[in-house]
């Protein structure tokens, strides 16, 4: 079986074209759809009355989305509308809980095994989680690639990337609109807005996940989270830089911040650290909500 490993630079879409021109848009829709399912999962599961029901609906929804993508994705919007109704049918408790935002290295923060089921543990400790989406990184690759194309005076390359980015944004907003009124976080900000939020702490010429982690943390703080976790691989340079800058974000936005470095060994004191962090989160939440 062929394996494709595109580079995360201006050749990204050129490399993907080897599997056909339609693949890029179909793959993008798959990523957006899966991000939206994860958002609904995290939005509803902490409030479910019947334990395990949200996970069951999420699993069924993911299978429906996968089946739609396998057929070409022409019915993806109707499938998403049906999925939204399935999530909304879940019986929930009418309580108020603090929100914790998770940023950091894209794989560690997104993969349950790699982060030792971080989201689930936070939910068990009484939090609702907002997770930075995978689409953020792809949009960032578009943004940096267009800048590099303009510097090389490659007008054709820049125009091609601009059209790709325009179509992707349009698809994302169309799909996001189906769920937007049900998600407290709201609409995903544009990459340049995230970079602008991070600009007082790190210049955008320093490319990578560090600037996205800082900008997204500030975006989370502006939207009322009661805490932020920065998840990263052990010795990761962008993670080390963002963890140092997180102290400034914590002081300037008065929001508890926790940096977690994962080395694959498992940390025996992690639960204790999370419990201490959640104590601060709940105090912050109670202070902000009287």
Per-residue pLDDT, 275: 95
Q: Which long-range contacts (CB under 8 A, 24 or more apart) does 191-196 make?
A: 191/136, 191/139, 191/140, 191/142, 191/143, 192/143, 193/219, 194/136, 194/219, 195/143
Match 């909304």 to its residue by tokens: 88
- Tallying the residues shown for the chain, one arrives at 290
In sequence order, which residues have a C-beta less than 8 Å from that of residue 46 and are 6 or more positions away? Answer: 97, 123, 127, 128, 129
Name 103's bridge partners: 230
Low-confidence ranges of the chain (pLDDT < 50): none
Name 100's bridge partners: 129, 227
Per-residue pLDDT, 74: 92
For the chain, list the domains and their CATH numbers. Answer: 96-133+188-290 (3.40.50)
Q: What are phi and psi of 253, to 5 degrees?
A: -115, 5
Q: Return the axis-axis angle of helices 209-222 and 191-198, rounded to nearest 10°.
A: 90
Task: State how far the alpha carbon of 12 is from the alpha carbons of 9, 57, 132, 161, in Å.
Answer: 5, 34, 22, 10
Per-residue pLDDT, 155: 63
Positive or negative, the CA dihedral 186, 174, 33, 188 is negative
Dist CA 284 CA 255 (whole Å): 7
Contact in structure between 258 and 229 (CB atoms under 8 Å): yes
Match 């049918």 to its residue by tokens: 89
| Cα angle, residue 248 at apex, residues 244 and 253 outer, rounded to 5° | 140
Task: State how far the alpha carbon of 189 is from the alpha carbons of 132, 135, 219, in Å.
Answer: 11, 11, 8
pTM: 0.89
Name 259's bridge partners: 230
Tens-digit pLDDT profile for residues 138-192: 889 888 887 777 666 666 666 777 777 778 889 999 999 999 899 999 889 999 9
Pairing of strands 128-131, 257-262: unpaired
Per-residue pLDDT, 148: 75
What three-state secondary structure class fits 48?
Answer: strand
Match 């599997």 to its residue by tokens: 19
Contact in structure between 109 and 220 (CB atoms under 8 Å): no
């Amino acid at each position: 079986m062929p394996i494709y490993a595109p580079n995360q630079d201006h050749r990204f879409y050129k490399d993907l074209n080897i599997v056909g021109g339609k693949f890029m848009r179909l793959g993008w829709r798959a990523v957006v759809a899966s991000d939206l399912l994860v958002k609904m999962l995290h939005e509803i599961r902490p409030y479910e009355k019947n334990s395990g029901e949200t996970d069951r609906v999420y699993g069924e929804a993911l299978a429906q989305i996968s089946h739609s993508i396998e057929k070409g994705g022409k019915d993806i919007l109707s499938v998403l509308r049906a999925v939204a109704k399935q999530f909304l049918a879940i019986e929930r408790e009418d309580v108020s809980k603090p929100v914790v935002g998770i940023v950091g290295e894209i794989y560690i923060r997104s993969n349950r095994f790699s982060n030792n089921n971080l989201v689930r543990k936070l939910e068990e400790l009484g939090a609702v989680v907002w997770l930075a989406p995978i689409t953020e990184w792809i949009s960032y690759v578009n943004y940096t690639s267009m800048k590099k194309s303009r510097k090389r005076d490659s007008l054709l390359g820049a125009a091609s990337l601009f059209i790709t980015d325009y179509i992707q944004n349009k698809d994302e907003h169309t799909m996001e609109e189906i769920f937007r009124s049900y998600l407290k976080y709201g609409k995903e900000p544009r990459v340049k807005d995230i970079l602008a939020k991070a600009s007082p702490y790190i210049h955008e010429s320093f490319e990578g996940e560090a600037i996205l982690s800082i900008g997204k943390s500030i975006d989370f703080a502006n939207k009322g989270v009661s805490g932020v976790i920065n998840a990263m691989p052990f010795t990761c340079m962008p993670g080390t830089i963002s963890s140092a800058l997180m102290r400034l974000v914590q002081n300037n936005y008065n929001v508890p911040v926790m940096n977690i470095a994962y080395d694959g060994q498992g940390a025996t004191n992690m639960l204790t650290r999370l419990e201490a962090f959640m104590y601060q989160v709940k105090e912050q939440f109670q202070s902000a909500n009287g």
